[in-house]
Structure 1
Amino acid sequence: MAVSSLSLTLPSTSLSKRLNVAHSKFTPKPSAININACSSDLASEEERSSKRRPLLLGVGALALSLLPVNFVLAEGTPANYDSFTDLSDGYSYVYPSDWRDFDYRGHDSAFKDRYLQLQNVRVSFIPTDKSDIHDMGPINELVPYLLKKVLATPTQVADIFDMQERTIDGKNYYTFEYTLTSRNFSRAAFATIAVANGRYYTLIVGANERRWRRVRDKLKVVADSFRVLDI
């Protein structure tokens, strides 16, 4: 998949039929859909590199941006979370207030737990000629395709647990829960994807799978908070 432009052509044989993917609401730890990511041509999302953009952090920075805070935070920031908005790149989300920002290779913004570095959120985007996430395909075909071709490395096994699509302020989002398992390690995460401004955006928030039950609901708030903004 080219990094310069995202234009996916899904296989003629539906992945949803081959993998028996179901479109459902989120529920705690349902039966997983297994994807064996063993092809040598799979590209890891984490191996891509791009220059990190300047960040606007918290309500104080938003005030300095001259954009009214109540516009960006129209739905409010939950207790124990802080907000992040990047007006120049067109997106926003919330993250746990005790997390700190850090440089995550190939991502535009990122925050992590102060003590558990694998517990983090990050956002990246690449150009696309699509205008909406629906233009890339239905959720039950697109998500398995992206998980296998983009998010998983050749040595990882991917399992999808749930998929959900939402429309907020006229913009469409796909959110899914998954795990990536290698020989000695397993990570669980939510991903929210959207298309706007000629860009395909991806937010991923996750943790070590051993901690997933304890932090899942907390991280789901982050995944559901992601918004794309007009620029």
Structure 2
Amino acid sequence: MVSFLTSPSINHTWLPNASTQLGLYRYGQFRRNIPFIVRSEHVPSTSTSSCEDTPGRRQLLAMGATLSPWLFFSQQTLTFAAETKKGFLPVTDKKDGYTFVYPFGWQEVVVEGQDKVFKDVIEPLESVSVNMIPTAKQDIRDFGPPQEVAETLIKKVLASPSQKTKLIEATEHDVDGKAYYTIEFIAQAPNYTRHALSAVCIGNGKFYTLTTGANERRWEKMKDRLKTVVDSFQIFNV
């Protein structure tokens, strides 16, 4: 049985800070109680690296591929071979070792307790956030199967205890030999219902969580874009 409360690597780092998680229920409050800064620029200074003119790059160009500036890392064994989809912007954090894309037009905001946050300034429930905590575990599967981990995360981290939650699906997939769990769930508050997706993975001695979502009334319109965001999340060795 998975237990985050009894895990020495999480007990004193994650759960006490659960109130700062942006996964769901803080959207109605962080604009009032947590200071944040809206940045007009889209490209973080730590989020890009130059492309090298390698044979592999030239081959991809000859095949008509669209290469993002962060596609290749000269000192990393990992090569990102995915194209940046139209209508999305890439984020790569070389210090903490993760990458994902978010919809064009979302603004970066700074929120206490979160490593990266991008959101729609008109629809505040439409956002993506990344959080990390230290862990001694080596694999997400060490915490248990997807369903069990998902239920624990939703109950203790991703939603407020006062919210009514429903786990829709929890699945596992593999990217370059690393296991990821993807969670789809709904959280109902008195004044809104949010449909959310989370991806969790372990690497670099950290437990990574990416969460994105939208108001339930806009889910059908946003679901494909949100699935692109969660599916794009990858971590790499640093």
Alignment TM-score, normalising by the size of structure 1: 0.74
Does 1 or 2 have the higher relative contact order (CA < 8 Å, sep 6+)? 1
Where does residue 116 of structure 1 map in the other structure? 123
Provide the rounded CA distance (Å) in 2 between the counterparts of 1:203 and 1:185.
21
Q: What are structure 1's unaligned runs of at least 5 residues?
A: 8-40, 50-55
Verify the 8 A CA contact 1:124 1:203 in the aligned structure 2.
Answer: yes
The aligned runs of 1:141-160 (5 Å cut-off) are 141-160=148-167
Over aligned residue pairs, what C-alpha RMSD do you find?
3.2
Deviations 1:147-180 (A, max 9, x none): 1111121211111111221100111100011111
Where does residue 229 of structure 1 map in the other structure? 236
Where does residue 29 of structure 2 map in the other structure? none
Structure 1 segments of 4 or more deviating over 2 A?
1-7, 41-47, 56-61, 63-66, 68-73
Provide the rounded CA distance (Å) in 1 between the counterparts of 2:145 and 2:219.
27
Verify the 8 A CA contact 1:43 1:152 in the aligned structure 2.
Answer: no
SS of the equivalent of 2:209 reads: strand
Q: Identity rate of aligned residues, in percent?
A: 38
Per-residue deviation, 1:2 = 8.0
1:205 to 188, 193, 212: 212
Give the structure with higher Rg (CA).
2
Q: What are structure 2's unaligned runs of at least 5 residues?
A: 27-33, 35-41, 53-68, 73-78
Provide the rounded CA distance (Å) in 1 between the counterparts of 2:145 and 2:6.
21
Provide the rounded CA distance (Å) in 2 between the counterparts of 1:4 and 1:96.
37
Q: 1:2 to 1:137 in 2, by over 3 A?
A: closer
Where does residue 9 of structure 2 map in the other structure? 5
Q: 1:150 to 1:173 in 2, by over 3 A?
A: same
Verify the 8 A CA contact 2:114 2:130 in the aligned structure 1.
Answer: yes
Verify the 8 A CA contact 1:176 1:192 in the aligned structure 2.
Answer: yes
Counterpart amino acid of 1:160? L
Provide the rounded CA distance (Å) in 2 between the counterparts of 1:170 and 1:160.
26
SS of the equivalent of 1:5 reads: helix
Q: Count matched residues.
A: 193
Provide the rounded CA distance (Å) in 2 between the counterparts of 1:229 and 1:211.
32
SS of the equivalent of 1:118 reads: coil
Deviations 1:44-72 (A, max 9, x none): 4347x9xxxxxx93799523598x73326
Q: 1:65 to 1:100 in 2, by over 3 A?
A: farther
The aligned runs of 1:1-231 (5 Å cut-off) are 1=5, 5-6=9-10, 43-44=18-19, 45-46=21-22, 57=43, 62-63=48-49, 69-71=70-72, 73-231=80-238
